[in-house]
Amino acid sequence: MTTATTRLRLRTDAGDEVPFAPSHLVVAGYTGRDLDAVRRHIEELAAIGVPEPDGVPAFYEIAVDRLTTDTSITVDGRSTSGEIEPVLLRVGGRHYLTVGSDHTDRELERQDVHLSKAACPKPIASTVIDLGDDPAAVAWDDIVARSWVDGTAYQEGTLAQMLPTGQVLAEWDRRGAGGTDLALFGGTMPLLDGGFRYGADWRMRLQVPGRAPLELAYSVTVRNG
Alpha helices in the chain (DSSP H): 35-47, 106-109, 113-118, 165-174
Q: Find how far residue 77's CA is from the centre of its chain.
A: 20
Which of these ranges, 72-81, 99-108, 127-136, 175-184, has the smallest mean pLDDT?
175-184
**Nearest Cα to 205, choosing from 164, 157, 163?**
157
Q: 67-97: per-residue pLDDT in tens?
A: 999 999 999 989 999 999 999 999 988 999 9
The torsion of the CA quartet 165, 166, 167, 168, rounded to 10 degrees, works out to 50
CB distance 80 to 120 below 8 Å = yes
- Residue 182, pLDDT > 90, answer yes
- Residue 158, pLDDT > 50, answer yes
Q: 10-69: per-residue pLDDT in tens?
A: 999 999 999 999 999 999 988 989 888 778 777 877 777 777 877 788 999 999 999 999
Work out whether the CA dihedral 141, 143, 148, 151 comes out positive or negative. Answer: positive
- Residue 115, pLDDT > 90, answer yes
- Residue 159, pLDDT > 90, answer yes
The set of residues, in sequence order, having a beta carbon less than 8 Å from that of 130 and lying 6+ positions away, is 12, 14, 16, 18, 94, 96
| Mean pLDDT of all residues in 158-175 | 92
- Residue 224, pLDDT > 90, answer no
CB distance 66 to 25 below 8 Å = yes
Could you tell me the strand order of the sheet in which 152-158 lies? Answer: 72-75, 214-222, 201-207, 144-149, 152-158
- Residue 176, pLDDT > 90, answer no
pLDDT at 225: 62
